[in-house]
Amino acid sequence: MPRQLHLNLFIHSRGHHEASWRHPDSSPLALTDIRYYQDLAQRAEAALFDSIFFADQLALGGDVAQAARSWLEPVTLLAAIAASTSRIGLIATASTTYTEPFNLARQFASIDHISNGRAAWNIVTSWLATSARNFGGAGQLSHADRYARGEEFMTVVKALWDSWAEDAVFDDRASGQYARADHIRPINHRGDFYQVAGPLNLPRCPQGRPVLVQAGSSDTGRRFAARHADAVFTAHVEKATAREFYADLKALAAAQGRNPEEVLILPGLNAMIGSTEAEAQRMAREVNDLTDPEVGRKRLSNRFGGHDFSHLPLDRPLSPEDFPDPDTVEAARSRTEVILNLVRRDRLTLRQLLGYLAGARGHFVTAGTPEQIADLIEDWFTDGAADGFNIMPPLLPLQLDVFSAEVIPLLQRRGLFRTEYAGATLREHYGLPRPKSAFDEPMLQKA
C-alpha cells in the first residue's frame, strides 16, 4: 500500500476562525454542551479521521467579551467522547508545568482504558503568561526552565506507565489471586523537580502507553519532540518552512536513534471550501467581516507575552521593529517567529496581519475548491512537508462536513487515505508500534 495520510480534526470553538462563533452557519449548540463535541467526534469518525484534538490554556483569555472557546476541561471531555465513539483517536492537551506527573499519568491511562486504546496526550509546557498566576503566583518559569521540567516530567510519566507488567492482572476468582504483586514495581524517582515513588495505581493501558503528541517548534521544543513525540503539530504559513521543519525534525528523531517514520508531522490547515474558488473566497470574506481588530490586537499581545501593541495604527505597513525580539519572548517563541516572517515577507498592515491571524492563529489559511484543497494536501504530503494534516475548519460543523464529503473522497480515490479503519487503537491508525514495558526485559521473563 502506498504511504497513507493521517488526518486529525482540531476542534476549537465553533470553528477556527475567530468570528466563527457568531456566524449564522456555525453550530447553534452551547460551547458547554457535551452533545456538540460528541456530535463532531462522531462526524469525524464517520469520515475516518485518525483522531480529534482539544487544545487548552490554564487561564481565561483577556478577550472573553468577544471570543468563544471550547471551555470544557479536555481530559474530562475525552472521557465523555470515548463513551460515544468507538474507533477515532482522542487527543487532549495537558501541561507539564502545572500538573503533577502522577495525576497526569493516571488520567491518560484511565482515558486509554475507557476508550479501549485511543488516548493521546498533547504535551505542552504552557506558554501563556497569565497561567502562572493561577498556580502559586511565583511568576512564569522561563522557556528553558519549562522545558527542563518537562523533560524530567516525561521520565516520570513513562516510568509510571511502565510500572505494571502486561500480565500483572491475574483476576483469578478460583485461586483468590487478583494481581501478581511482583509484576508491579515502584519507580523510586528522585530528581531536581519531582520525587515520585510509584508504582501507578492502575494497570498498564491498552496501548502500552498513550500516544504522545507535541507541538514545540523552537530549537528546544523540536529536540523535545524528537525524543518523545509520536506525532507533532506545527504551524506554517508556507510550504517552504514546513519542509524545513519536516526535514529538521525527522533528522533530529533519527539522531535520537528513532525511526523517523514513527514521528508523524501534522501541520495545521484551515481551508474554506466552496464549489468554486470565487464562492470559497466570498465565504472567507464574509466571516472575516465579522472580526473586530481590537480583539485581534489583544490576542497578538498575548502571543508576545503581553507586549503592548495599542499604539500601532491599523493601516500602516508593519516592520519587524514594531515587535519585540522573539528571543526575548518567554511565551510561544516559534509562533512569534511565524508572525514576524509573515510581516517581513508580505509587508502587511496591522489590520491585514490581524485578518490573517483571525483565520487560524498563524496556521496555513486558504480558500478554494475541493480539488484545490486535495491538490495542496497531496503536494505537501509528497513533497516532504507533511505526513498528514491537523485539519482546522473555519466553521464547525459546516466546513468539516464539506471537507469530509468533498475532499476526503478525492484523497481516497488517489489512494492516499483509508477507506475503512484497519485497526482499533490510535497507535494502529498512526502506524506506530506498541511500546514494550520495562517488564518485557529479562528480569520478569524469568519469573
Q: Give the residue with the Cβ less far from ligand FMN, 143 or 183.
A: 143
**CB nearer to ligand FMN: pick between 124 and 252:** 124
In the complex, minimum distance from the CB of residue 123 to ligand FMN, in angstroms, rounded to a whole number: 8
CB of 241 to ligand FMN, least distance (A): 13
Shortest reach from residue 419's CB to ligand FMN, in Å:
27
Please state the separation of Cα 385 from the chain's center in Å. 17
Shortest distance, position 2 Cβ to ligand FMN, whole Å: 26
Q: How far is the CB of 19 from ligand FMN (least distance, A)?
A: 20
Query: Closer CB to ligand FMN, residue 250 or residue 335?
Result: 335
Interacting residues toward ligand FMN by CB under 6 A: 55-57, 93, 124, 126-127, 215-218, 220-221, 233-235, 268, 332-335, 390
Distance in Å, CB of 152 to ligand FMN, minimum:
17
Q: What are phi and psi of 244, to 5 degrees?
A: -65, -45
**CA triplet 312, 315, 319: central angle to 5 degrees?**
60
Q: Which residues contact 39 (CB under 8 A, 6 or more apart)?
A: 29, 397
Query: Which CB sits closer to ligand FMN, 27 or 390?
Result: 390
Closest CA to 246 of 256, 260, 259: 260
Of the pair 117, 216, the CB lying nearest ligand FMN is at 216
Question: Is the distance from CB of 362 to CB of 239 less than 8 angstroms?
Answer: no
- Kindly tell me which of 163 and 334 has the beta carbon lying closer to ligand FMN: 334
Find the shortest distance in angstroms from Cβ 143 to ligand FMN: 6
For 150-160, b where at least 16 C-beta lie within 10 A, e where not — what string?
bbbbbbbbbbb
Q: Judged by CB, which is closer to ligand FMN: 221, or 397?
A: 221
In the complex, minimum distance from the CB of residue 163 to ligand FMN, in angstroms, rounded to a whole number: 27
* C-beta closer to ligand FMN: residue 56 or 151: 56
Nearer to ligand FMN, 302 or 437 (CB): 302
Which lies closer to ligand FMN via its Cβ, residue 218 or residue 369?
Answer: 218
> Shortest gap between Cβ of 333 and ligand FMN (angstroms)?
4
In the complex, the smallest distance separating the C-beta of residue 11 from ligand FMN, rounded to whole angstroms, is: 11
With CB atoms as reference, the residue minimizing the distance to ligand FMN is 221
The span from the CA of 196 to the CA of 143, in Å, is 24
